[in-house]
């Protein structure tokens, strides 16, 4: 039991530190090498955080939709959309760390994941709106260049486009007249 209490304290302290690090990055001014490195580290963590929140929204979309259907069938109001976790854990090269991104950004990314999973928005719309959130977080952090959000979706879209292009090339070859005839 004592171990559990110590672990909870350590987790709470790690969460507090991640929030303090984000807020420090927001307030850091100057173009020193140390400032850029620190902001870059927090930007990487924020990127991973937003990606995880998008995935969380997509995964929990089905559960939320079922809860809405159940409420409607019972004549109740729709339940409120769940809020994403304010903290996420990400694995760095050396350790697992807690990350923090303000709720205004995580709620939007969570909702995008949910909308994408429910097929209410296309992959292109999800990418565009997700990048807009990432741009605002990048601006909040004072980054010179915004980070790219939802790279895994971009990779998926690129893979689909390559597959379509290859299948079109195969069809074109099949339709080409045989020069030996």
Q: pLDDT tens digit string along 25-63?
A: 999 886 788 888 999 999 999 999 999 999 999 998 888
pLDDT at residue 130 in the model: 95
Task: Provide the whole-model pTM.
Answer: 0.80
Q: Among residues 54, 39, 45, which one has the least CA distance to residue 92? A: 45
> Within a domain: residue 5?
no
CA 78 remoteness from chain centre: 25
pLDDT at residue 118 in the model: 86
> Within a domain: residue 100?
yes
> Within a domain: residue 119?
yes
> Within a domain: residue 57?
yes
> Within a domain: residue 135?
yes
pLDDT at residue 77 in the model: 87
Radius of gyration (C-alpha) of the chain in whole angstroms: 22
pLDDT at residue 173 in the model: 60
pLDDT at residue 149 in the model: 92
Q: Please say whether the dihedral angle defined by the alpha carbons of residues 38, 42, 47 and 48, taken in this order, is positive or negative.
A: positive
For the chain, what is the domain count? 1
* C-alpha distances in Å from residue 143, one per residue of 96, 123, 159: 24, 26, 30
Below-50 pLDDT ranges, the chain: none
d(CA 58, CA 152): 14
d(CA 91, CA 178): 55
pLDDT at residue 3 in the model: 58
Domain that holds residue 136: 41-159
> Within a domain: residue 77?
yes
> Within a domain: residue 17?
no
pLDDT at residue 15 in the model: 93
> Within a domain: residue 32?
no
């Amino acid at each position: 039991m004592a171990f559990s209490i110590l672990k909870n304290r350590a987790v709470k302290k790690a969460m507090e530190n991640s929030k303090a690090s984000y807020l420090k990055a927001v307030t850091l001014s100057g173009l020193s090498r140390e400032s850029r490195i620190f902001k870059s580290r927090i930007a990487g963590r924020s990127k991973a955080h937003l990606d995880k929140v998008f995935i969380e929204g997509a995964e929990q979309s089905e559960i939320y939709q079922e809860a809405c259907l159940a409420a409607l069938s019972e004549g109740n109001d729709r339940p409120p959309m769940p809020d994403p976790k304010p903290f996420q854990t990400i694995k760095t090269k050396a350790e697992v760390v807690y990350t923090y991104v303000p709720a205004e950004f995580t709620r939007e990314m969570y909702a995008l994941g949910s909308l994408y999973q429910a097929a209410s928005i296309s992959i292109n719309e999800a990418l565009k709106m997700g990048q807009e959130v990432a741009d605002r977080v990048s601006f909040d952090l004072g980054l010179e260049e915004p980070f790219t959000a939802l790279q895994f979706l971009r990779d998926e879209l690129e893979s689909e486009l390559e597959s379509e292009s290859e299948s079109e090339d195969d069809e074109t070859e099949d339709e080409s007249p045989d020069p030996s005839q």
